[in-house]
Amino acid sequence: MQPFLTVCCFVLVVQAGVADQRNANVALERATNAFKQGRFEEAGKQLDAAARADSKKPEIPNLRGAIFTRQKRYEEAAQQFSEALALDPKFYPAKLNLAEVKLLQGQYGEAAEQYQALKQADPDSETLDFKLVLCALLEGNQAKASGIVDLMKFPGTTPAYYYARAAIALRRGDNELAQKYLENVKKYYAEVQCRYFAQSLEEVNLTSATQSRPQETPDPRSGKVGNSGSASQ
């Protein structure tokens, strides 16, 4: 009788663990949806629920860090991303987000180093190339930024190339050229694909309203904006 009771207890424990994981996943999904809608307080509550159910999921501190990043609470964000990596040292999103925090704090050199390190594991990442372009531009090295874009795949699987070119144009103050890139990209990529890159430009104040007029000749390849048939999803 005793072995049977032991087995029953074990089954109950396993079932409880599965239920906890399920509850954590549901709460995490709700938190993610709330985050996307800008309802950060609700997202935080759902993350608390997810953590109570399963505190070992790196997605939980990673999303909490993303909330803090949006709220410009960068030190707290970095702490959360580091916590995610403590749970899973290979958790790529947290590594990417730590570099993002450096970028948003104006530590462009350190951010570039972290993005470059990530390129070792993901050499074909267009997003990382785009971020490296931003780092170079914000450090004042437009030649380096242009060099990175020249090596980017075109057309790419993401809108990264167009937004990188737009960023260079905006930094020069060539708002007209930047607008051409921003209009053309929508011909080939869905709005949901563009949203991340557009937001990235806004977060570092690379918008037409904040730039001065052109002071130098545009990059020779900047005319390659993409006509009909030159890019596709």
Residue 159 reports pLDDT greater than 70:
yes
Tokens of 1: 């009788």
Is residue 59 domain-shared with residue 165, that is, in the same domain?
no
Q: Please check whether residues 8 and 83 belong to one and the same domain.
A: yes
pLDDT classification of 158: cutoffs 50, 70, 90: very high
107 C-beta neighbours (distance < 10 Å), count = 16
Q: Please say whether the beta carbons of 40 and 60 come within 8 A.
A: no
Instruction: Check whether residue 63 and residue 160 sit in a common domain.
Output: no
Same domain, 202 and 212: yes
Provide the pLDDT for residue 23.
87
pLDDT tens for each residue of 183-201: 999 999 999 999 999 999 9
SS3 breakdown of the chain: % helix, strand, coil, rounded to 5?
75, 0, 25
pLDDT score of 8 more than 90: no
Q: Which two tokens stand for residue 196?
A: 């991340």
Domain range for 122: 107-233
- The domain boundary residue, chosen from 49, 71, 105: 105
Residues 81 and 115 in one domain: no
Query: Is the model's pLDDT at 157 over the cut of 50?
Result: yes
Question: What is the pTM (predicted TM-score) of this model?
Answer: 0.78
**For residue range 64-100, what is the model confidence (pLDDT) as tens digits?**
999 999 999 999 999 999 999 999 999 999 999 999 9
Instruction: Output the furthest CA–CA distance in the chain (Å, rounded).
Output: 87
Of 105, 128, 152, the residue that ends a domain is 105
Residues 44 and 98 in one domain: yes
Residue 14 clears pLDDT 70, i.e. is over it: no
Q: Does residue 29 sit in the same domain as residue 81? A: yes
Shared-domain flag, residues 122 and 209: yes
Domain harbouring 61, CATH code: 1.25.40.10
Give which of 103, 98, 102, 70 is closest to 84, Cα–Cα: 98
User: Is residue 154 a contact partner of residue 231, using CB atoms and an 8 Å limit?
Assistant: yes
Q: Say how many domains are in the chain.
A: 2
77 CB neighbour count, 10 Å cutoff: 26
Q: How far apart are CA 141 and CA 223, in angstroms?
A: 20
pLDDT digits (tens, 9 = 90+) for 106-148: 999 999 999 999 999 999 999 999 999 999 999 999 999 999 9
> Domain ends where: 105, 134, 155?
105
Residues 115 and 229 in one domain: yes
Residues 66 and 176 reside in one and the same domain: no
Let me know whether 100 and 133 are in one domain: no
Q: Does one domain contain both 7 and 99? A: yes
Residue type for 191, please?
Answer: E
